[in-house]
Amino acid sequence: MKISELGEFGLIERIRRQLPPPHSGVVRGVGDDTAVLRSPQGGYLLATCDVQVAGRHFLLGKAAPDQIGRKALAVNLSDIAAMGGTPTYALVSLGLPADLDVEFVDALYRGLNAEAARFGVSIVGGNLSSAEQLFVDVTLLGEVEPEHLLLRSNAKPDDVVMVTGDLGAAAVGLDLLQAERAPNLLPAMREAVLQAALTPTPRVKEGQIIARSGLASAMIDISDGLAADLGHICDESRVSVRVFAEPLPIANSTVEAAVAVGRDPLDPALHGGEDYELLVTAPRANAKALIALVQSQTGTPLTIIGDIIPPNEARTFIRGNGRMIPLHARGWNHFR
């Protein structure tokens, strides 16, 4: 069987089943945003890695090298954010075509260094290899107090589902980057969705506030798309979910840009991926306090978009007219 037939998540599940049981020091191995490891002296160490490959995760000539560097770190920062953690150290593994300009690498590192400085991260190592296809593989470490760790696996029926910021902008930005002719769009709107696609802002502070509040039950970052990442929470928590179209936070610029490229804005919001927003579940009674806390400390809105339901009910999306349709994961699959 080819990998393309099994798909990314099928392959991850297959690898996971073959892994031997981990040490006693492993609080959480494969199956969450980051690994969670007990430090010998107490405290939890977080570790994650995510690669950006040319032509897959970024388009040479469309993304500037400093943007590629920023994003390569940002996507990892978002995983640490999803655990409520504080990022600390990064290792950077570069695969570089031998005929690439050294100045490209300089600019890539300018982006990496700027993003690292912004979030208090030190780049402490890495390696270089020649490769036909440029790639940037970042490993990021972080830490979290055991009592504040938020996993994917603790959502409960009747919890509400909330999301930080807004959805779908990055996916529409990617549509614009790939469009042969620039659609008719106000420059500010164009800029907003392009920025979401090229230099996403990881919600590190928001993640820490949510985790430390003790008000939430589960958290994940949206990299594969809202529907797919909600699916991960449901799978790991053994629950189901109901999402409402009406409250979904979609910025005006995303709506305008989606329409300009001929796309229903709900589609990128549900399935676009690469939002790097946080998806949070919390007991219904805690929602108001959590929304007020995040808003007041970061200015970032947290919006209720649905609720967790028992596992025997279907995962459902409820449109504005009340029509219920199945909520299928249709996010990014690298091997499709």
Residues 107-166 that bind a second copy (CB under 8 A): 109-110, 113, 116-117, 120, 122-133, 135, 137, 139, 141, 143
Is 78 an interacting residue with respect to a second copy (CB under 8 A)? no
| Window 90-109: residues binding a second copy (CB under 8 A) | 91, 93, 95-103, 105-106, 109
Binding window for a second copy (CB under 8 A); candidates: 41-49, 171-179, 235-243, 265-273: 41-49
Other C-beta atoms closer than 10 Å to the C-beta of 47 total 15
Residue with Cβ nearer a second copy (108 or 291): 108
Q: Which amino acid type is present at position 149?
A: L
Residue with Cβ nearer a second copy (89 or 244): 89
Q: Strand pairing partners for 177?
A: none
Q: Strand pairing partners for 143?
A: 45, 86
Calculate the alpha carbon distances from 174 to 125, 133, 208, 214 in Å.
31, 20, 29, 36
Compute the least distance from the CB of residue 323 to a second copy, in Å: 35
Residue found under tokens 């090298």: 65
Compute the least distance from the CB of residue 7 to a second copy, in Å: 10
Interface residue with a second copy, options 50, 159, 175, 277 (CB under 8 A): 50
Pairwise CA distance, residues 325 & 328, whole Å: 9
Residue with Cβ nearer a second copy (115 or 159): 115
Residue found under tokens 């002719």: 181
Nearest to 217 by CA among 108, 308, 81: 308
Compute the least distance from the CB of residue 63 to a second copy, in Å: 16
Binding window for a second copy (CB under 8 A); candidates: 39-47, 65-73, 249-257, 319-327: 39-47
Compute the least distance from the CB of residue 26 to a second copy, in Å: 5
Residue with Cβ nearer a second copy (76 or 253): 76
Residue with Cβ nearer a second copy (29 or 157): 29
Compute the least distance from the CB of residue 41 to a second copy, in Å: 3
Radius of gyration of the chain (CA): 20
Q: Strand pairing partners for 53?
A: 135
Residue with Cβ nearer a second copy (178 or 297): 178
Compute the least distance from the CB of residue 42 to a second copy, in Å: 6
Is 319 an interacting residue with respect to a second copy (CB under 8 A)? no
Angle at 10 between CA 78 and CA 141, to 5 degrees: 25
225 in the Ramachandran plot: left (φ > 0), alpha (ψ -120 to 50) or beta?
left
Nearest to 160 by CA among 289, 321, 67, 46: 289
Residue with Cβ nearer a second copy (236 or 316): 236
Q: Under a CB-based contact definition with an 8 Å cutoff, are residues 141 and 87 in contact?
A: yes
